[in-house]
Structure 1
Amino acid sequence: MFIKKVLLLSALITVSTPIFATQVFPFTLENCGIKQTFTAAPDRVVTLGQHETELLLALGLEKKIAATSVWFGALPDALKAQGKDLLKLADNSPSFEAVVAQKPDLVLAQYHWHVGPQGEVGTREQFASLGIKTWISPADCVGKSVTDSSNADGARSTPFSMEEIKREVSELATIFAVPQQGEKLNHALTQRIALAQKRAATPNRTPLKVVFWFSSTRLNGDPWVAGNYGAPGWISNTLGLKNIIDSHDEWPAVTWEHIAQAQPDIIVIADMARRLYPADDVAVKEAFLRSDPVTKNIPAVKNGHLIVVPAMSLNPSLRNVDAVEAISEQLATIQAKHE
Structure 2
Amino acid sequence: MSLPTPLRRASFGALGLVGVLAFAACSTDAEPVSVETEAVAVEETVYPVTIVNCGEDLTIDSEPESVLTIGTSAVALVDAAGASDRIIARAGEFGADLPAGLSNPPEDVEIVDPSDPAIEAIVGTEADIIVGYGLFNASDEDVAAVGIPNVVIDGECSHDAALTDKTDFDAIFADVERLGTVFDTSEVAEANVAALRAEVDALSDVDTSQNAGESAAVVYYFFDGATMSARGGQGIADDVLARAGFDNVYGDEPSVYLEANIETLLDADPHTIVLAYGLYGESFDEALALFLAEPGAENLTAVQEDRVIGVLASDLAPDPGAVRGLEQVLVGTGALEG
User: Where on the TM-score scale, by shorter chain, does this alignment land: which range?
Assistant: 0.7 to 0.9
* Alignment partner, residue 8 of structure 1: none
Paired residues of 2:81 and 2:177 also in contact (CA < 8 A): no
Q: Structure 2: how far apart are the matches of 1:205 and 1:238?
A: 10
Q: Which amino acid aligns with 2:285?
A: A
Runs of 5+ consecutive residues of structure 2 not aligned to the other structure: 1-40
* Alignment partner, residue 247 of structure 1: 253
* Alignment partner, residue 4 of structure 1: none
Among 46, 49, 65, the alignment partner of 1:43 is 65
Paired residues of 2:262 and 2:295 also in contact (CA < 8 A): no
Q: Identity over aligned residues, as a percent?
A: 22
Q: Which amino acid aligns with 2:253?
A: S
Matched, 1:30 2:37: no
How does 1:58-77 map onto structure 2 within 5 Å?
Answer: 58-71=80-93, 73-77=96-100
Deviation at 1:281, TM superposition (A): 5.8
Q: Deviations over 1:220-259 (max 9, x none)?
A: x852111122221111112211111231132222331221
Matched, 1:285 2:292: no
Among 307, 332, 335, the alignment partner of 2:334 is 332
Matched, 1:52 2:54: no
Assess, with a 3 A threshold, how the Cα gap between structure 1 residues 260 and 47 changes in structure 2: closer, same or farther: same
- Local SS of the residue matching 2:333: helix
* Alignment partner, residue 219 of structure 2: 213
How does 1:166-245 map onto structure 2 within 5 Å?
Answer: 166-199=173-206, 201-203=207-209, 206-215=212-221, 223-245=228-250
- Local SS of the residue matching 1:183: helix
Matched, 1:262 2:268: yes
Matched, 1:91 2:126: no
Q: Structure 2: how far apart are the matches of 1:156 and 1:30?
A: 15
Assess, with a 3 A threshold, how the Cα gap between structure 1 residues 131 and 84 changes in structure 2: closer, same or farther: same
How does 1:3-152 map onto structure 2 within 5 Å?
Answer: 20-71=42-93, 73-79=96-102, 82-110=105-133, 112=134, 114=135, 120-141=136-157, 144=158, 151=159
TM-score of the aligned structures, taking structure 2 as reference length: 0.78
Paired residues of 2:209 and 2:245 also in contact (CA < 8 A): no
Among 306, 309, 315, the alignment partner of 1:307 is 309
* Alignment partner, residue 12 of structure 1: none
Q: Which amino acid aligns with 2:193?
A: N
Deviation at 1:289, TM superposition (A): 4.2
* Alignment partner, residue 14 of structure 1: none
Deviation at 1:217, TM superposition (A): 7.2
Q: Which amino acid aligns with 2:241?
A: S
Aligned-pair Cα RMSD in Å: 2.6
Q: Deviations over 1:165-185 (max 9, x none)?
A: 211111110111111111111
Paired residues of 1:65 and 1:86 also in contact (CA < 8 A): yes
Paired residues of 2:208 and 2:244 also in contact (CA < 8 A): no
Q: Which amino acid aligns with 1:251?
A: Y
Q: Structure 1: how far apart are the matches of 2:116 and 2:53?
A: 21
- Local SS of the residue matching 2:270: coil
Q: Structure 2: how far apart are the matches of 1:321 and 1:262?
A: 27
Paired residues of 2:274 and 2:310 also in contact (CA < 8 A): yes
Runs of 5+ consecutive residues of structure 1 not aligned to the other structure: 1-18, 115-119, 145-150
Q: Deviations over 1:284-327 (max 9, x none)?
A: 43234445551112111112111111212223222221211111
- Local SS of the residue matching 2:102: helix
Deviation at 1:92, TM superposition (A): 1.3
Q: Structure 2: how far apart are the matches of 1:205 and 1:281?
A: 27
Assess, with a 3 A threshold, how the Cα gap between structure 1 residues 224 and 60 changes in structure 2: closer, same or farther: same
